[in-house]
Every structure is written in C-alpha cells, then in structure tokens.
Amino acid sequence: MAKGKLPGKNPELIAAVTLAANAAAVEQAGYTQHLALHAEAWRLFVFRLAETLADFLEAPDNRYDQGPDSPAASTSLSEDVPAALGREAVRLFRQDGLSFADFFSLLKCLRRTVLNDPSLPARLQPGCASFFDCLETAAASQWLKEEASFAQHRLREAKLFILNEKKRYATIFHRMAEPACIVDQRGCLLDVNTAFADFFKTPGEMLLGKPCALLFGPQACNACLLEKTLSEHGSFANIEVALPVAGESRMVLISGASLGRVRGVPGGIVILQDVSAQRQTAQALRESEDQFRSLVENVPDVTWRADAKGNLVYVSPNVRRICGHEPSEILGQSRFDHVHPEDVEEVRKRYGLLFCQGEGICPPLSPAS
C-alpha cells in the first residue's frame, strides 16, 4: 500500500492551511476582529499546526490509506502530537487575553478551512479530522484546567485578603477608644472590645452571648431600632439614651450599622460614646448662667456688658426703671454714647486698659480740666 503524501511535501495540503484561506473563513464567521488582535501569534500557530499535522499523518498508526484489515491504533502515542499542540495553543492565547469562546471559534474556522478545502485529498480527510479531534479535546481540557487553577488561585487570594481584612478590622475594633460590640440579628453580643468591657465594668468573656437589652435596657434598644436596622442592612447614629451602669446612669450616644453576615448570620456593630461628663458640664453651666442671671437682674443698679469696641451686648432690666429705656432700645449702641462728652476720651482709654491689661478695676478718672 502506497504511503500517503506528507503535508509538508504536499502542495495541496499546504494550500489548505494557508493564512489566506483561514482568514476568509474567519471573516465569514464574523471573527475577523478577534483574529486581528492576535494576528502574529495566530500566523505562527497556523504554520506550527501545518508542521505538526504533517508529522501526525506521517506516523504509521495514522496512515489512512491502509487496508480495512489493518489494526487500528486509537490509543497510539502519535495522538500526543495534536494534544501537545492544543495545550500549547491554550497557554499562548489564553495568556494573550483571548476568550475561550473566541479561541474555539477560531479553531473551528481553521478546522473547516483544512477539511473543506477542495484540494485536500479525500484519503487524508479522516486523518485531519482525527488530528483536530485530538487537538480540540486537549485544548478544551487544558483550558478547563487552567481556568480551575486560576479560579483556585483567585479564591486563595480572596480568602487571604478576607483573613487579613478580618485581622485588620479586629485590631482596629479591639483598639478603639469607644466602647463597641458586634451583635447578631437577635441583638446578642458576638464580640466586645476592651473599652466596652471597661465601660460596663465586666470581663468581656462574661458579656458574650448576652442580649443587648440586658445591658442597654429595652428602652435604648427600641430607641435605636437595632433589630430593624440589622434586618434592613441600615444604620443609625447619635441616639442619646441613659444606660444603667454599675448602679449609676450614664448618658451615651449610640451609633450602629449592619455588617452583613457575621459568623454566618446577619450582624452589625454598635458603638457607644459616653457623654455623661459633657452633659454634666453643660448642666452645671446652665445652672451657673441661671444663678448669674438671677443675681444680675436683682442688683439695684444697671448691669451691662459690652464688647471690646464698647458696643452693648447686654443690659439688665433695671435700665427700664432707672433710665427709662427698654433694654432692647440701647442694645448694640456704643457704651460711650451715654458718657459726658468731656469724659469720653478718658473713659475710652480706661475701658481699653481692661482688654490690654486684663484689669478688673480701672483707676479713678482724673479731674476734668
């Protein structure tokens, strides 16, 4: 039986795998733009394929001009030739950014170019079909392996990123100066920071698992709508409530936000800001202002206050009885408008000394000249 002509020595087969013929098939299939992006790599691949196809058809087990009684060698080592080319093509074009769908579409166009070319001898068509079957199977398998490997790599990166983020946020959470806790959808404590344990004067491990309502009280939980916020993935801020802590009442601002899923269940963070000292200071200031106002308003004389330029910013109500003016009538006027013209210059000078030297009492006015 005569041996089939090798592709490398057969002008008819070389014509079947030329780039011009393949480009026409690609254009007909609508993939010209994808081929243009990888033109040089595809050109090298086509000529590599022609060379490999020649070796494949030349192998004794792949001579399709043998008689019907010749033993088939479907598992011969020669099948490794197109398989190796398929794996090589995947590594080349996948890293070059070609998608799987576009890559296989180009392969199919190349297959049709070779098998449908009229100049291809009929006796070589079964061998070419077998070659492309092996190439495509190996390419698909290799692409799947690399996609799986890439996905596993990205998954490992994602897990590492999440782990690092958890560590970073855990560090931030536990080092926060403000008392903070992590709660689940039922409002039970999943984690607390050191400041939270110190605020409630209870070891952190003894607080875990306890419901917020037990620590904050039902009124505080209802005020911030904690359960509703977590279920709706919302947030709240600066809800002022009084919390019972170690037998005393502490004024705090409560803020919180949903964190999505925490340890497999919906959860969120709650942060407390202790404003007890500020509120006590504000209350003491209000009481002091009330006492001062009561004192000033009950002094028999007129009490006034002016800015550095002498403009009146406060006048006690006694001005109505003593001077016959309503306080609102002279507010904003200059203090010096009501000083005798002969004394204005000296009064201005003495008044200025109050701001320059911080003196509470001015020296007596000198006798008028």
Residue type, 12: E
Which band of pLDDT confidence, cut at 50, 70 and 90, is reported for residue 320? confident
The average pLDDT across 288-294 equals: 75
Residues 132 and 186 reside in one and the same domain: no
CA 341 to chain centre: 71
Residues 138 and 103 reside in one and the same domain: yes
Final residue before a domain boundary, out of 107, 136, 152: 152
Tokens of 36: 């243009």
Query: What is the per-residue pLDDT for 62?
Result: 55
Contact status, residue 110 vs residue 35, Cβ threshold 8 Å: no
Instruction: Report the interhelical angle of 100-115 vs 125-175 (nearest 10°).
Output: 170
Region of residue 62 (phi > 0: left; psi between -120 and 50: alpha; otherwise: beta): alpha
Query: What is the per-residue pLDDT for 196?
Result: 93
Residues 28 and 92 reside in one and the same domain: yes
Q: What's the predicted TM-score (pTM) here?
A: 0.47
Residues 12 and 82 reside in one and the same domain: yes
Identify whether 36 is part of a domain.
yes
| Contacts with 149 (C-beta within 8 Å, 6 or more apart), sequence order | none
Tokens of 361: 């009492």
Least confident span in 61-70, 136-145, 221-230: 61-70
Residues 135 and 237 reside in one and the same domain: no
Identify whether 219 is part of a domain.
yes
| Contacts with 97 (C-beta within 8 Å, 6 or more apart), sequence order | 37
* CATH code where residue 188 lies: 3.30.450.20
Final residue before a domain boundary, out of 273, 290, 318: 273
Diameter over CA atoms, the chain: 147
Strands, sheet with 235-245, edge to edge from the N-terminal-most edge strand: 189-192, 180-184, 265-274, 248-262, 235-245
Least confident span in 11-25, 65-79, 344-358: 65-79
Query: What is the per-residue pLDDT for 3?
Result: 37
Residues 201 and 125 reside in one and the same domain: no
Provide the sign of the torsion angle of the four alpha carbons 296, 299, 300, 305, taken in this order. Answer: negative
Residues 224 and 142 reside in one and the same domain: no
Residues 182 and 231 reside in one and the same domain: yes
Query: What is the per-residue pLDDT for 87?
Result: 92
Residues 32 and 97 reside in one and the same domain: yes
Contact status, residue 333 vs residue 341, Cβ threshold 8 Å: no
pLDDT of 75 above 90:
no
DSSP-based three-state secondary structure for 56: helix
Its domain, for residue 251, covers 176-273
Identify whether 162 is part of a domain.
no
Residues 147 and 199 reside in one and the same domain: no
Residues 121 and 190 reside in one and the same domain: no
Total tally of structural domains belonging to the chain: 2
Final residue before a domain boundary, out of 273, 305, 333: 273
Query: What is the per-residue pLDDT for 27?
Result: 73
Residue type, 304: W
Identify whether 183 is part of a domain.
yes
Among the listed residues 83, 106, 91, 86, the one whose alpha carbon sits nearest the alpha carbon of residue 147: 91
Tokens of 314: 């406060």
Identify whether 140 is part of a domain.
yes
Identify whether 281 is part of a domain.
no
Residues 24 and 109 reside in one and the same domain: yes
